[in-house]
Structure 1
Amino acid sequence: MELYAKVLNYTMPVFLLLILVEQLAARRMGKQVNRSLDSVSSISSGMTNVIKDVLGLTISLLTYDWLVGHVAIFKINATWLTYAVTILVIDFKGYWVHRWEHRVNILWNRHVIHHSSEEFNLSCALRQTVSTVFDYFAFLLLPAAVLGVPVEVMAVVAPIHLFLQFWYHTRLIGKMGVLEKIIVTPSHHRVHHAINPIYMDRNFGQLLILWDKWFGTFQEELEEEPCVYGITRPARTWNPLKINFQHFWLLLRDAYHARSWKDKLRIWFMPTGWRPEDVKQRYPVYTIADLQAYAKYDPPGSSGFSIWAWTQLLVCYGLLIYLFAHLVTIGFSHAAVYGGFLVLSIYAFTELMDRNPHAWAFELVKATVGLGIIYWLGDWFGASQQYPWLTPLVGAYQVLSFFVSAYFSAAIRAGQPLPEAESVHQHGA
């Protein structure tokens, strides 16, 4: 996990830089591909995901290490061919897991966050789940295990395979000629993220589009059918923690309200979106019926409000870099507390982004926890040894964050327009 944390500290700035480049390129092309708060929500989601991954909070019920030890017929060295086979096996696994996540009710909860943005851009690629507690699908790596592909090779290829799925989340690249027949391109993935009926549940490939063409799930992007993005039951929130568990909460409520015990049990394994008939009638859920008439989630804000949201995000990102850079010295137990604080911070400022009039209360809890950590440890997780300025800075941020958020919350409760950038600067943002 320490190695993965170090890799993330190098790759995350690259992703953020590319998001900025995409925004600048879109402006130059006269296109709008980003909305400010949507991008903050997407990047926040990515941060919660990497915190979970680095802290190892996903339990694999069957590990690749175990598979190799029990089923390997051969023992092979790490050559270029080994890496090629490994990436094919991982991509094959990725296709089927992705397909099942779209087709099975309970598995959709693992993936819904990734589709929840009503935009399609590089930042939405970072919308990744924190709701995956158990990984059931290591058995799909059986071909590599039988061949004896070393664990070390799998450990190198898996994150590379994940990172290579970032670039095609964009509207700025058109069709790519002959490559459209082999690899997943932006055009293919735009189809995958669209909720137009003709595009739904298509193009599950992660690196190779060949799987979709072979298994009958391919759909080409059509000029006469522009993609509409999002999910058919809109999330209606910027809070990534809420989005992660909305679908699970709906399933839980439906299972509780269903009159039939058969429905209570089978709802979890039915096709995505299935609900018992009696529950649908008594507890209707809004679903987009007219794609052209649907209005995207866009609570009123201001430039100052947007600046404050980005400030909160960047502060959390800076603290995340510190956590990943000093993971070993901080230790697992303290790192878990640190990660929990960051998740609480994200929850608090995204509640404010949703214009929750009580967002100040979450900020108060966050500030109390942050200052309590400093009091408990005597500094900010060992920062005084190398960065003596960091602890007072983090402490001052807790206080400032509470007062600025309380100011915005008061304006929301009073029904007043949120102040513009000049007013926010007067209050220390």
Structure 2
Amino acid sequence: MQEQVITIASPIFILLIIIEMFIAFRRGKSNFHFSDTINSMSLGMLSQITSAFLKLFLIGIYAWVAHNFALFKLPNAWWVWVAGLLVYDFLYYWLHRSGHEIAVLWAAHVVHHQSERYNLTTALRQTSSGPLLAWIFYLPLAILGVPIEMFIAISLIDLLYQFWVHTELIGKLGWFDRVFVSPSNHRVHHATNDIYLDKNYGGILILWDRLFGTFIEEMDEHKVVYGTRSPLRSWNPVKANIEVYQAIIRDAKRASNWTDKIRIWFKHPGWQPTDVAQQFPHAPFILHRPNFEPVLPTSWKCYCGAQFLLILSITTHFLAVDRTISFANCALYGFWLGAGLLILGGLTERRSNYLWLESIRLILTAGFVLFTGNWFGEFALPALGQGAVLFVTMSSLLSLVVLFKGANLNSNLQQKS
């Protein structure tokens, strides 16, 4: 259900993003950067792809707990919906807050904060590993007897609400800012400034932050600086999802004390055992630093933009059919999409080895369709469909030849000032 709603809502999201781009351009604001936009949306797509394999596990746990341990059998009444949404938002506050205070949860949530820009595409920048532990926080709803269908719908309402608050184009909203999560409130949450750090966790209601002492108002004298205090500096969507896990594992291996090897997963993000901190201290945090924005020539932007739109449209098909095809073919389909997004990230960094990987991906895609006559073993392609796939892959390969010839591979990470 969630994937279906997200798929239906995607055109609306894209339309609103285009409108935001237009308004920002008219106002002379530099809210968007090509590669950052592609990266944020790619991470959202990757999150939806992985959820296709996790949803049965997660929904199954909720359904099992609700069936075996529910205290009440709640009716499908308006007051249950309202109460359910309030309780969900309260639990979301604690999940979100824990995601900033516990390292293993931050390792998943960090994906949403890595962008050094702030716009509606940031809302789509979601983790692929978060659901593995997030379900624990919502078990009280199952114990209270909230039906699983209602739980899924409520979670979607809370998630969809949060889309519009990821913008710099809407200022303060008076009384609304004091009750609800608003763009101003949520900009603060994405800040790396010391004064704003780890504040404003609410999903729909900012009242939870006011109640539990984590609220702060956006201040004109402290302009928000976005990103994370240990910047990713990459457009690689896989690296974005595993960077903090890797850092925790690395420090856990370095720690001499076995207690510290376990504690590091549950301490505040960035915590290091004493012996590790002495030998491998973290780099000092610099608030005002140049954004990670490698220069990308127009030809590369055209190719990456075209491939992104193609993968986006195919991902929509994947999400529509993932429940109807075999697990093996679904896994192969998902892997192919994930590989495309990974390679796209490398191309937006203008890395030469990803040109070769993209060539291999295109050749394998064309070869598979040519020799099997179907799409990932499930969907028979008529001659016209096979011709369309071959035309796109061959045209893409010819475009790559142009990129190979025109690439200045020695300056693939040249930075904008």
TM-score, normalising length: structure 2: 0.91
Deviation per residue, 1:293-324 (Å, 9 max, x gap): x1000111122222222111101011112223
The answer to whether the 8 Å contact 1:359/1:409 transfers is no
Deviation per residue, 1:81-120 (Å, 9 max, x gap): 1111111121111111111111111111111110000001
2:346 corresponds to which letter in structure 1? E
Does 1:333 find its partner at 2:328? yes
Superposition deviation, residue 412 in structure 1: 4.2
Q: Which residue of 1 aligns with 2:130?
A: 132
The answer to whether the 8 Å contact 2:200/2:215 transfers is yes
Does 1:315 find its partner at 2:315? no
The answer to whether the 8 Å contact 2:373/2:380 transfers is no
Superposition deviation, residue 59 in structure 1: 4.1
1:353 corresponds to which letter in structure 2? T
Does 1:229 find its partner at 2:226? yes
1:298 corresponds to which letter in structure 2? E
Structure 1 stretch 37-46 or stretch 394-403: which is displaced more? Answer: 394-403
Q: Which residue of 2 aligns with 1:374?
A: 369
* Structure-2 change in CA distance of 1:70 and 1:184 (3 Å): same
* Structure-2 change in CA distance of 1:214 and 1:58 (3 Å): farther
* Structure 2 CA distance for aligned equivalents of residues 284 and 147 of structure 1: 46
Does 1:200 find its partner at 2:197? yes
* Structure 2 CA distance for aligned equivalents of residues 296 and 28 of structure 1: 23
Superposition pairs of residues 28-427 of structure 1, within 5 angstroms: 28-56=26-54, 59-60=57-58, 63-132=61-130, 134-135=132-133, 137-142=135-140, 144-289=141-286, 291-292=287-288, 294-375=289-370, 377-381=372-376, 382-384=378-380, 388-405=383-400, 407-409=402-404, 411-412=406-407, 414-415=409-410
Superposition deviation, residue 151 in structure 1: 1.9
Q: Secondary structure at the match of 1:397?
A: helix
* Structure 2 CA distance for aligned equivalents of residues 195 and 139 of structure 1: 26
* Structure-2 change in CA distance of 1:257 and 1:409 (3 Å): farther
Q: Secondary structure at the match of 1:56?
A: helix
Structure 1 stretch 294-303 or stretch 355-364: which is displaced more? Answer: 355-364
2:256 corresponds to which letter in structure 1? R
Superposition deviation, residue 374 in structure 1: 2.0
Structure 1 stretch 235-244 or stretch 392-401: which is displaced more? Answer: 392-401
* Structure-2 change in CA distance of 1:368 and 1:258 (3 Å): farther
* Percent sequence identity over aligned pairs: 35
2:191 corresponds to which letter in structure 1? A
* Structure 1 CA distance for aligned equivalents of residues 242 and 371 of structure 2: 32
Q: Secondary structure at the match of 1:198?
A: helix
* Structure 2 CA distance for aligned equivalents of residues 189 and 219 of structure 1: 10
* Structure 2 CA distance for aligned equivalents of residues 206 and 115 of structure 1: 15
The answer to whether the 8 Å contact 1:175/1:187 transfers is yes
Does 1:26 find its partner at 2:24? yes
Superposition deviation, residue 61 in structure 1: 9.7
* Structure 2 CA distance for aligned equivalents of residues 146 and 108 of structure 1: 26
The answer to whether the 8 Å contact 2:52/2:322 transfers is no
The answer to whether the 8 Å contact 1:358/1:409 transfers is no
- Runs of at least 5 residues in structure 2 that lack an aligned partner in the other structure: none
* Structure 2 CA distance for aligned equivalents of residues 147 and 258 of structure 1: 42
Deviation per residue, 1:245-270 (Å, 9 max, x gap): 01111111111222333322221111
Instruction: Give RMSD over aligned pairs.
Output: 2.4
1:283 corresponds to which letter in structure 2? F
Equivalent pairs counted in the alignment come to: 412
Deviation per residue, 1:267-289 (Å, 9 max, x gap): 11111111234333433443432
* Structure-2 change in CA distance of 1:77 and 1:316 (3 Å): same
Superposition deviation, residue 182 in structure 1: 1.0
* Structure-2 change in CA distance of 1:255 and 1:74 (3 Å): closer
Q: Which residue of 2 aligns with 1:14?
A: 12
The answer to whether the 8 Å contact 1:360/1:402 transfers is no
Q: Which residue of 2 aligns with 1:5?
A: 3
* Structure 1 CA distance for aligned equivalents of residues 43 and 68 of structure 2: 37
* Structure-2 change in CA distance of 1:90 and 1:223 (3 Å): same
* Structure 1 CA distance for aligned equivalents of residues 55 and 348 of structure 2: 27
1:132 corresponds to which letter in structure 2? G
Q: Secondary structure at the match of 1:275?
A: coil
Structure 1 stretch 160-169 or stretch 361-370: which is displaced more? Answer: 361-370
1:100 corresponds to which letter in structure 2? S
The answer to whether the 8 Å contact 2:229/2:285 transfers is yes
